[in-house]
Amino acid sequence: MSIDTLKLRKVAIDTYHENVAYLNRECSIYRAEGFQALSKIEVSVNGCRLLAVVNVVDDNSIVLPGELGLSQQAFKNLHVQEGALVTVNHAEPPKSMDAVRRKINGERLNQNDFDDICVDISETRYSKMEMAAFLVATGQNNLDRDELLYLTRSMLESGERMNWHESLVADKHCIGGIPGNRTSMLVVPIVAAHGMLIPKTSSRAITSPSGTADTMEILSRVDLTPSQMLDIVRQQRGCLAWGGTAKLAPVDDLLISVERPLGIDSQGQMVASILSKKLAAGSTHLIIDIPVGPTAKVRYMRQALALRKLFEFVGDRLNIHLEVMITDGRQPIGLGIGPVLEARDIIKVLNNSPDAPEDLKQKSLQLAGRIIEFDPDIRGGQGYAIARDILDSGRAYVKMLDIIRAQGEKTMDFSPGKLCYAVCADRKGVVTHIDNFQTAKIARIAGAPMESRAGVDLLKKIGDKVEKDEPLYQIHAEFEADFVFARNLADHNSGYTIGHDDQVLQSLVSF
Amino acid sequence: MSIDTLKLRKVAIDTYHENVAYLNRECSIYRAEGFQALSKIEVSVNGCRLLAVVNVVDDNSIVLPGELGLSQQAFKNLHVQEGALVTVNHAEPPKSMDAVRRKINGERLNQNDFDDICVDISETRYSKMEMAAFLVATGQNNLDRDELLYLTRSMLESGERMNWHESLVADKHCIGGIPGNRTSMLVVPIVAAHGMLIPKTSSRAITSPSGTADTMEILSRVDLTPSQMLDIVRQQRGCLAWGGTAKLAPVDDLLISVERPLGIDSQGQMVASILSKKLAAGSTHLIIDIPVGPTAKVRYMRQALALRKLFEFVGDRLNIHLEVMITDGRQPIGLGIGPVLEARDIIKVLNNSPDAPEDLKQKSLQLAGRIIEFDPDIRGGQGYAIARDILDSGRAYVKMLDIIRAQGEKTMDFSPGKLCYAVCADRKGVVTHIDNFQTAKIARIAGAPMESRAGVDLLKKIGDKVEKDEPLYQIHAEFEADFVFARNLADHNSGYTIGHDDQVLQSLVSF
């Protein structure tokens, strides 16, 4: 409890979302306070405070006994110059962990509890393990729908909120899991060409072979500042930007950074994550795409319906006009899987190329049509025809080119990775199943999204007839090692099933 | 997925139980593999593998682009010299996390699941957040008693197991929470003087003002090597050592390193933790002390009984002769709280000093008596009288002095911290309640256990009459800052309640 000061020093180590403090083992404060490695300390200077985990250093070239080292992000978060005198104390555990412990004990939490938790998380008072405890305690069926509403509201209020100063700000979001499913890149130009505001932000791939931001980045820049985005949307009515720069619902980002490596995701947390982000982005009208299929995130129709009700319940209470579309998630959408291959498909659909993938086109038109029907001037049921008209007439392509130029155009060269391997049918028959997981995994191992030209290019889809030894898809890679790994993976399990006509997996939904 | 080598370098940073790898941002592998800060990587060399969390370094004096730095413990765990060429790959998440996710989903796990989890944890394949997920998923009432048995068995088998080559190896354990409760330091000399084997290992304080190892360390060394401990126990039949050096049930230590900072503990995990440690230490006969009281860990008799059944169920199936004693946990045991003050109490009881604390003496005699009755030659009900005889005759004191000398004697100077403050009664009456948490907190803030002479010395216990302004206890400290903090805390809440005779809190148990 004694109080003393140390000289602040920046340590050139990047510890991502975790603040790390480096204390020399000979430091008098370290010895007196009984800190140990991985203790949490509070660093204070001029009224600024920061929580950090202690690493103990035995090398004076990293930190001297009279210094406190901070990792890069921690140093940046403290907003103080090197050499400043800082005070160090034991960190009190975050008060809201009491609520987490009550949740672990089976209690129901209220709005205040979730507010306190989200404030503490956004101020990085939670360690990774405290966030893991929160996620597990609130995972699965541990939150009822009112608690889910409270959580979403608290996450939303933890960060900044955009205001587009229009009464109708459209958005769409897919819950993910379907390779090649880049409908946003068609929906945005169609809807913007209709004149509706659709300032779309997307994520990069985390575990998939490409995210919308990765695919869009082939065509144009996507890392826009908030003011650039504002300008572009004002001119073009739409954009396709990477969502990583804005500070929208920061609690969501922090929770995801724990959820992903743990491989846990609950429907409740998905709903809270999506809706808090969309509301923070200023969306007023939202279409949620839930693909259903045996290798999709949602496998059964009853799950999709339960998820739809959750979205509707929370969305209605947070004043967003929300509609859910349950879509066909039996197989990848389009032909290419990987940034360049997907961008090629998009451009083919936009310029009405005869070999454009029909499923990608139809799904995008359905989604765009539903969004266009948010327009009070459009009669129910007319959206699809309007969307098709915009696409067929080339107006969507022109709008896309405008958006690309506004964001900063890059390339229209879609040549795939130079190493190429065709995966062929082992028998004659009909494609009955395609495994979303396996095709995504092969594309990822081949190098996507880091190697933008790597990936998988599908030649056959469900229902297509094939001869023995006819190619089903091609793997593209840029590097030999990736190529060998991906080829071996595909030889071991191609992800395709060939059978008879009557074994073809039927869609659970029809348009 | 490309494979390449880096030169191993030791980085003089202590990251405790967490392996950290330092990669230069310019390192080709870092760039090619798409690692990011906090990714988990697998480091391989000569068939040895190690999992570590990546920190990205922008300072060539810490690691060069062609090097892989490892934190001190990680370097030690890899068992390879600096300069060795190591291979780095993305770490696969531990396979047993599938079982954890099944548990999160509400499934029941079997012995194999727990075995796989404990092997992965003991090989440090789990990150802190994965351990947090496991702890929350298996906490509270989420494990049935069979699962608890499986977990205990898996934890036991995760490490080494001692064998004393005797049929009766006695031990005792208190679940904790009562300040001053140093009965082990009386039970061991009494039981060893009777001739029974009692190789006692204890922990240091983590959140309390003193652990048995801290108090014993005033009198003698406690950091014994396994062979020193073996020698001493062979000669003296007992010892009082720190349990931190042996590799017994290492999974328990790793889980505790997450459980403590999270402040979560479930009865199930407590049972698994205690029994796996005791079985690994080679104990065959065990007394468990469960104190009950409003400010004890167990507040109600029904909780104590439920906990007793759990201990009995698991203990019986793992072949340890186990008896539970539910004891009076209304207030601290003895007078001193803090290493030196507690050591003073112990010596007073051992040398039959007239001002020795009677409650500490009686409780220790009861526990020792029950252990002595494990001896097949002793008639049921005779243990207490034998224990009292050993203590009264001075044989226990002689045995304690022998153990102290064998371990390496230190001091018999029990003068308390030089800064002293008396906390006085604010009214005349009877002490009706004493708060275990508050008195422990005051002792800790005063400096215990780091400052061994700091702490709290009780002058009044429950049922004692007091005049207005009569001292209730004294706070001792060594440093001014600690002293001021502790005094302010006590002035704000002394932890004592003064009332009428009929308000005196009665014990839930009687001997």
For residue B18, the chain A residue with the least C-alpha distance is A38
Instruction: Determine the distance in angstroms separating the CA of B426 from the nearest CA of chain A, rounded to an integer.
Output: 28
Q: State the pLDDT at residue B428.
A: 97
Instruction: Determine the distance in angstroms separating the CA of A438 from the nearest CA of chain B, rounded to an integer.
Output: 17
Amino acid at A434: I
Are B262 and A479 inside 8 Å of each other by CB? Answer: no
ipTM: 0.72
Residues 6 or more apart whose CB falls under 8 angstroms from that of A62 comprise A11, A22, A69, B12, B13, B62
Q: State the pLDDT at residue B110.
A: 97
Residues 6 or more apart whose CB falls under 8 angstroms from that of B109 comprise B99, B102, B103, B147, B150
Distance separating alpha carbons of residues B90 and B41, to the nearest angstrom: 5
Look at strands A238-242 and A198-202 and give their pairing: parallel
DSSP 8-class letter at A409: B
- CB-nearest to B15 from A55, A262, A263 is A55
- CB-nearest to A136 from B72, B136, B485 is B136
CB atoms near residue A76 (< 10 Å): 11
Are A14 and B55 inside 8 Å of each other by CB? Answer: yes
Return the residue in A1, A67, A124 with the most chain B beta carbons within 10 A, the one to mutate for interface testing: A1
Return the residue in A39, A56, A136 with the most chain B beta carbons within 10 A, the one to mutate for interface testing: A136
Tokens of A73: 């992000």
CB A286 within 8 A of CB A315: yes
Which of chain B's residues have a Cβ under 8 Å away from the Cβ of A59? Answer: 11-13
Residues A268-296, buried b or exposed e (16+ Cβ, 10 A)?
bbbbbbbbbbbbbbbbbbbbbbbbbbebb
Are A104 and B140 inside 8 Å of each other by CB? Answer: yes
Are B59 and A13 inside 8 Å of each other by CB? Answer: yes
> Which among A265, A359, A389, A464 is annotated as catalytic?
A265
Are B62 and A58 inside 8 Å of each other by CB? Answer: no
Instruction: Determine the distance in angstroms separating the CA of B239 from the nearest CA of chain A, rounded to an integer.
Output: 27
Are A14 and B58 inside 8 Å of each other by CB? Answer: yes
Spans of chain B, pLDDT less than 70? 1-4, 30-38, 245-246, 510-511
Which of chain A's residues have a Cβ under 8 Å away from the Cβ of B482? Answer: 1-2
For residue A98, the chain B residue with the least C-alpha distance is B263
Are B140 and A105 inside 8 Å of each other by CB? Answer: yes
pTM here is: 0.80
Are B104 and A140 inside 8 Å of each other by CB? Answer: yes
For residue B105, the chain A residue with the least C-alpha distance is A140
Instruction: Determine the distance in angstroms separating the CA of B31 from the nearest CA of chain A, rounded to an integer.
Output: 10
CB B195 within 8 A of CB B237: yes
Return the residue in B41, B58, B72, B104 with the most chain A beta carbons within 10 A, the one to mutate for interface testing: B104
Distance separating alpha carbons of residues B402 and B389, to the nearest angstrom: 19
Q: State the pLDDT at residue B128.
A: 83
> CB contacts < 8 Å between A and B, how many?
152
Amino acid at B41: I
Which of chain A's residues have a Cβ under 8 Å away from the Cβ of B16? Answer: 36-38
CB B145 within 8 A of CB B310: yes
B152 closest CA partner among B280, B289, B29, B25? B280
Return the residue in A24, A129, A206, A264 with the most chain B beta carbons within 10 A, the one to mutate for interface testing: A129
Which of chain B's residues have a Cβ under 8 Å away from the Cβ of A133? Answer: 132-133, 135-136, 262, 264
Amino acid at B483: F
Spans of chain A, pLDDT less than 70? 1-4, 30-38, 245-246, 510-511
Distance separating alpha carbons of residues B4 and B6, to the nearest angstrom: 7
- CB-nearest to A262 from B36, B129, B139 is B129
Distance separating alpha carbons of residues A63 and A75, to the nearest angstrom: 14
Look at strands A85-90 and A40-45 and give their pairing: antiparallel
Are A128 and B133 inside 8 Å of each other by CB? Answer: no
Distance separating alpha carbons of residues B504 and B433, to the nearest angstrom: 7
For residue A22, the chain B residue with the least C-alpha distance is B13
Distance separating alpha carbons of residues A36 and A223, to the nearest angstrom: 40
Q: State the pLDDT at residue A1.
A: 34
Q: What is the DSSP string of B272-302?
A: HHHHHHHHHTT-SEEEEEEEESTTSSB-SHH
Are B38 and A20 inside 8 Å of each other by CB? Answer: no
Distance separating alpha carbons of residues A139 and A333, to the nearest angstrom: 30
Tokens of A99: 């609520």
**Active-site residue A265, yes or no?**
yes
Distance separating alpha carbons of residues A202 and A182, to the nearest angstrom: 11
Which of chain B's residues have a Cβ under 8 Å away from the Cβ of A38? Answer: 15-18, 257
Are A1 and B264 inside 8 Å of each other by CB? Answer: no
Stated as kind and residue range, the H or E segment containing B385 is: helix B383-392
Residues 6 or more apart whose CB falls under 8 angstroms from that of B233 comprise B164, B197, B199, B239
Are A57 and B97 inside 8 Å of each other by CB? Answer: no
Instruction: Determine the distance in angstroms separating the CA of B344 from the nearest CA of chain A, rounded to an integer.
Output: 24
Q: State the pLDDT at residue B427.
A: 96
Instruction: Determine the distance in angstroms separating the CA of B240 from the nearest CA of chain A, rounded to an integer.
Output: 24
For residue B205, the chain A residue with the least C-alpha distance is A34
CB B243 within 8 A of CB B215: no
Q: State the pLDDT at residue B250.
A: 85
For residue B137, the chain A residue with the least C-alpha distance is A136
Distance separating alpha carbons of residues B19 and B6, to the nearest angstrom: 17
Instruction: Determine the distance in angstroms separating the CA of B328 from the nearest CA of chain A, rounded to an integer.
Output: 26
